[in-house]
Structure 1
Amino acid sequence: MQNQPLTPPRRTFFIDVADAAIRAGRKVGLVDPARLEADFLIEQVSDAYGSDDFGDRWFEGALEVLLDSTKAEARLNAAGDFSAMKTIHHLLRDRLYAQQWFDRHPEILARPIRNPVVIVGPMRSGTTRMHRLLASDQRFAHLRSFETISPVPRPGFGEVMAGNAEDFRPKLAARIMKVARLANPRTLSIHPTGPFEPEEELGLIAASMYGMKFEAQWRIPTFAKWSEAESAVPAYRHMANLLRLIGWSQQESSLRPWILKTPQHMLDLPALLEVFPDARLIFTHRDPQSIVGSAASLAWNQTIIYSGDVSANEIGREWLRKTELMISRMRDARDSIPRERMIDVQFDAMDRDWRGTMERVYDFLDLDMTPAVPGMEAFLARSAAQKKTPHQYSLAEFGLEPGEVYERLGDYVRTYGIAVDNPRATTGSAIAAG
């Protein structure tokens, strides 16, 4: 625990310059004005790529709500609405490309996804650490960062598979990450990554214009409430098809189970289990003071890139509410899951004895852990080298008090036997990946 200032960090000068440049470019006609309109963007992408087959049209309703909420509530700066248009354009283009691959290679959609191992936990509860430890075991399949940024290969990917060309997507991911670091270098301490690092499937869910990826970077409460009231099954079906496409593009054996994880699953376990009925679930748990403070810090550090009108207290309240909802829905969904298909893992237990905790996980998965240990040790060494600066945050920065967090989430703590810090403390320092 460390004493932290009560004012959260501001955005970088890089974004101020980019925002001013985009505004100036629009004044002289060099940069197109922002048009966050679903029909316009869909038509623009259809015309640009000569197709209007985006697959399941469920996403259109989600896109309408997302853009309406963004225009009315996000208070985006020029860099923000420019980025928003590019993001939606990218997602729509990838939907077109995905349908082209499915039409040309129907065997992709026939690929089975057997017995996936799904890590389910609140934001910042150690899901990344668990995911990357398991992904270091070659008996499992996993996504890489460039594949969650750009899950769909370009039309000329056949040349890449034949060994006659290079996949452009890792280079694109590296460029995006470089810009993200310039926009906010604190992202390195919050979530270290690289183009080939194992990564979660949140980008695959966002391909249906659904989910918390948008909420963590834009202030869009109407979209958040809409998403929470919707069945996520269509988004999860599309995610599964993108996983099949990625496995096919990796020339991955469908016999190797996928390792999946994203905090989105906390809200959508019924949809997850409808689409992946034989999933095995690893639930991660952590002191809610650390979960809420770290989640608010993550959202703050992303939201300030895109908006100059952001309230730290508002972000704190929203991510306390969101965390409470995630935990409530997770607990409700667990009642219908057979006990032998899930295991609980404590964040603190991983800190104290990662090897012993992982042995419990491997016993649950009915696998010998021995072959995986060298890869796990290599990951932990890399992680320690990458994360030289801990992610530092405080509840007080976001107008929250530990007593309120424990009042609302105390039953979660008691039910799962979660070790907690002194409720009177107001700061936290998250050192492990989460």
Structure 2
Amino acid sequence: MTDLRITDLARPEYNDFQRAALAYGESIETCFDPQGILDEASAALGLADFGDPEFRQRLDLICAEWDADSGLTGLGRYSLRNRLLGYARNRLLIEDILRRHPEIHAIEINRPIIVVGLPRSGTTHLVNLLAADSRLRAMPLWESYEPVPTPGEGLLADGTDPRYQRCAEAWAMMQQTVPHLAAMHPMDPDHINEEIELMLPNFASYNFEWFTHSPRYRDHYLAMDQLPHYVYMKTVIKIMQFLQPQTAPTRWVLKSPMHLENLPELQAVFPDASFVVTHRDPVSVIQSTVTMLAYGQRMNRKSILIDELIDYWTDRIEHLLRRCLETRHLLPDERSIDVPFHAFMADEQGTVEKIYNKAGLKLNAVARREMAQFIEDHPRGKHGKVVYDLQGDFGADPEVLRQRFQFYFDASPAIAETGQ
């Protein structure tokens, strides 16, 4: 395992490829006109029905906030607009398939296993491990990015789904522009993604906060009733189940940190789910989160928002945790389990077995072999181990920061990861 210390977070040093990509971005004129984005999506697909127009207030707000951000690079503006265009296209395709197949609404999503926990707290590894069990249905990145195929677009000559190919090409480009990202959060096509990706065609979810600094959107999101967005997400999961072969498994394994602050909505939409609530030292989470985001900003921003990142994400992590602690008791004891990060890291299969007991699923010999194979194929530190320096990079004393979260240590099984 190779230690990876990113020493140019605040003042990036660019290679030739990165400089060329940034120069290309500056040559592009990017317009965040909401109607223009919708019109372009409609023209590309020959579809016009975007469904309930209530999403427009969110799209308008996002476009206005991002357009007013003078700190974005040309490449940053271009990539952000492309995201919005992609979500508009997905929305058209979702509305189209629901119109043609209204029976989708009657599909049941039965007894999903849902992992809930802080970002950068082992939830990604856990859901990928659970997804190795061939009896469970998970959401690979390529499919979550484009949940509905484009009508008339067949498989490539080698049998590859073009959606998979596009995701693979995007990952290859990302590895050139931000090569150390693989050590922090791999985004290859087969990587299991978060289902809140499916809220993005509704221009909802806290994901927009991860794409770029978006405090106005955050405030709007926190004031919103999240239940309709969870219903929308579940509808898209139904579409994905409708489109899969009849022989495919139908019990889903899902995960997202966003659920921490929306447990009542999550349970209301998935009333028979089993819930896995992970816990980790928030300081470890924060240093991992802000390091990853600061590293990504080298391509999207003219200067790195070191101070804003540490302040913003400390507040967001605290909000996630306080909201979770307020509502954790609402999850049914017989179908929920708390998983400390340190316990999971010490005994992965033992932890999985406890989860399966809660979910009423037997960890049989086949599943054990499949998970063992996943662990062998995805060893810790496969792409390098990032060495963090919260004090040196962000001017934040880990011990002082940890005191802010004493309320969480007092109420959860998380332990302080001192010396990290």
TM-score (structure 2 length as normaliser):
0.92
CA distance in 2, matches of 1:298, 1:22: 22
CA distance in 2, matches of 1:348, 1:252: 39
- Tell me if structure 1 keeps the 8 A contact 2:275–2:331: no
Match in the other structure for 1:29: none
Which one-letter code corresponds to 2:189 in the other structure? P
- Tell me if structure 2 keeps the 8 A contact 1:217–1:303: no
Determine whether 1:374 maps to 2:369: yes
Determine whether 1:22 maps to 2:16: no
Match in the other structure for 1:202: 196
Which one-letter code corresponds to 2:105 in the other structure? L
Match in the other structure for 1:34: 30
User: Between the two proteins, what is the percent identity of the paired residues?
Assistant: 27
Match in the other structure for 1:389: 384
1:36 Cα deviation from its structure 2 partner: 0.7
CA distance in 1, matches of 2:132, 2:4: 36
CA distance in 2, matches of 1:4, 1:44: 42
Q: 2:339 aligns with which of 338, 342, 345?
A: 345
Q: Which moved more, 1:226-235 or 1:40-49?
A: 40-49
CA distance in 1, matches of 2:264, 2:387: 34
CA distance in 2, matches of 1:367, 1:234: 30
Gaps of 5+ in 1: 27-32, 429-434
Q: 1:362 aligns with which of 343, 356, 360?
A: 356
Determine whether 1:57 maps to 2:60: no
Q: 1:239 aligns with which of 233, 236, 256?
A: 233
CA distance in 2, matches of 1:301, 1:225: 25
Q: 1:325 aligns with which of 282, 297, 319?
A: 319
Which one-letter code corresponds to 2:90 in the other structure? D
* 1:400-411 → structure 2 map (5 Å cutoff): 400-411=396-407
1:252 Cα deviation from its structure 2 partner: 5.0
TM-score (structure 1 length as normaliser):
0.89
CA distance in 2, matches of 1:11, 1:247: 45
- Tell me if structure 1 keeps the 8 A contact 2:286–2:313: yes
* 1:268-283 → structure 2 map (5 Å cutoff): 268-283=262-277
Relative to structure 1, the CA distance from residue 85 to residue 274 in structure 2 (aligned partners, 3 Å threshold; closer, same or farther) is: same
Match in the other structure for 1:173: 167
- Tell me if structure 1 keeps the 8 A contact 2:202–2:229: yes
Match in the other structure for 1:8: 9
Q: Which runs of 4+ in 1 moved over 4 A?
A: 2-7, 163-166, 252-255
- Tell me if structure 2 keeps the 8 A contact 1:11–1:301: no
Could you say what the CA RMSD is over the residues aligned between the two structures, in angstroms?
2.4
Relative to structure 1, the CA distance from residue 282 to residue 290 in structure 2 (aligned partners, 3 Å threshold; closer, same or farther) is: same
SS in 2 for 1:108: helix
Gaps of 5+ in 2: none
Determine whether 1:189 maps to 2:166: no
Which one-letter code corresponds to 2:9 in the other structure? P
* CA-to-aligned-CA distance 1:359-383 (integer Å, 9 cap, x gap): 2112111222123110111111111
SS in 1 for 2:217: helix
CA distance in 1, matches of 2:329, 2:349: 29
1:262 Cα deviation from its structure 2 partner: 1.3
Q: Which moved more, 1:345-354 or 1:38-47?
A: 38-47
* CA-to-aligned-CA distance 1:179-209 (integer Å, 9 cap, x gap): 1111101110011242123222232122222
- Tell me if structure 2 keeps the 8 A contact 1:54–1:95: yes
* 1:242-281 → structure 2 map (5 Å cutoff): 242-252=236-246, 256-281=250-275
1:341 Cα deviation from its structure 2 partner: 2.4
CA distance in 1, matches of 2:70, 2:200: 18
SS in 1 for 2:211: coil
Which one-letter code corresponds to 1:384 in the other structure? P
- Matched pairs, number: 414
Which one-letter code corresponds to 2:238 in the other structure? R
1:7 Cα deviation from its structure 2 partner: 5.5
Match in the other structure for 1:432: none
